[in-house]
Structure 1
């Protein structure tokens, strides 16, 4: 039996996406509590994510959403990570600025540990992708669209997406700061 390079590359991406979720799960968590959700989407769900990113970009007049949606179109799948609202019950913490977990819960302030844990977990995940030579990029825009689509449970308050691709040149870097149809500079990291 023969396997084409494209078929083998797709299998590699699927395997690495699963390994990324595993790496995120085993990453260190504050107080040893896992408050993270992870999903892998492709096909129609990936297309819906890109469409939602375009919708957000048009509604907010933020062209980086449109540029990032094009990146999602070029991706085989997207790994999504979200932080659930949880409180650790730590006395005298105040990392969230609400005094303690009781104050945070009462005021609706998000737990700083949940946010930090998500960042550490995503760092572990992208290191797996990088070690296997799978092109990737952490995208705030994909996370916002995933939240808007309700892909995460209701407990998730913060999400990010990591699209994956195998190609001659990574679609996620050396990309224009604006979408091809726009001359408005993209705010944020790529703004000059």
Structure 2
């Protein structure tokens, strides 16, 4: 008989995080270009990200970054999903607000398909987490801290964090 304990749950949540990253990877992408970057943080790596979130909260006067860092502290695992920036080269698009891809790249803009594809991947990821009944929340703040730390590589400029929790009550429910 296998008794569930904290150690067993943490091993299970790490396996679930891998499945969540797979769901993100297989999400549809514009022109079939896979620009998704994913990572799973736990332990000291996750703690370093929490510290960065608190630093950003103090530096930029955005208190919700500190609140989210507190939520992350209650989560044993964080899934990070980001996208590399690359123009899709679609003719007659302009969804990014620029006349064409060359103008967007020159201005330092972001292709709308990069952001859209990331959003679809994040949706697939949290849907998979929900299928496994794992508490989660999409956090811009954790993604922003990861981008500043270059955790997903220097070419990733847009990211989200998805903290995961398995507990008697979701730490993401009664947030202040």
**Do both proteins adopt the same fold according to a TM-score greater than 0.5, normalized to the shorter chain?**
yes
Q: Tell me the CA shift for residue 60 of structure 1.
A: 1.4
> Which consecutive unaligned segments of at least 5 residues does structure 2 have?
none
Question: Which residue in 1 is equivalent to 2:21?
Answer: 21
Q: Tell me the CA shift for residue 5 of structure 1.
A: 2.3
Q: TM-score, normalised by structure 1?
A: 0.88
Whole-Å separation in 1 of the counterparts to 2:3 and 2:55: 38
Q: TM-score, normalised by structure 2?
A: 0.96
Q: Tell me the CA shift for residue 4 of structure 1.
A: 3.9
What pairs with 1:1-192 in structure 2 (closer than 5 Å)? 3-176=3-176
Q: Tell me the CA shift for residue 167 of structure 1.
A: 0.8
Whole-Å separation in 2 of the counterparts to 1:165 and 1:22: 18
Whole-Å separation in 1 of the counterparts to 2:166 and 2:14: 11
1:136-179 CA-partner distances (Å, limit 9, x unpaired): 00001001111111201111111110001111111012211xxx
Q: Tell me the CA shift for residue 2 of structure 1.
A: 5.1
Contact 2:78-2:161 at 8 Å conserved across structures:
yes
Whole-Å separation in 1 of the counterparts to 2:54 and 2:83: 24
1:53-104 CA-partner distances (Å, limit 9, x unpaired): 0011011122111110001111111000111111111110000011121221
Q: Tell me the CA shift for residue 3 of structure 1.
A: 4.6
SS at match of 1:28: coil
> Which consecutive unaligned segments of at least 5 residues does structure 1 have?
177-192
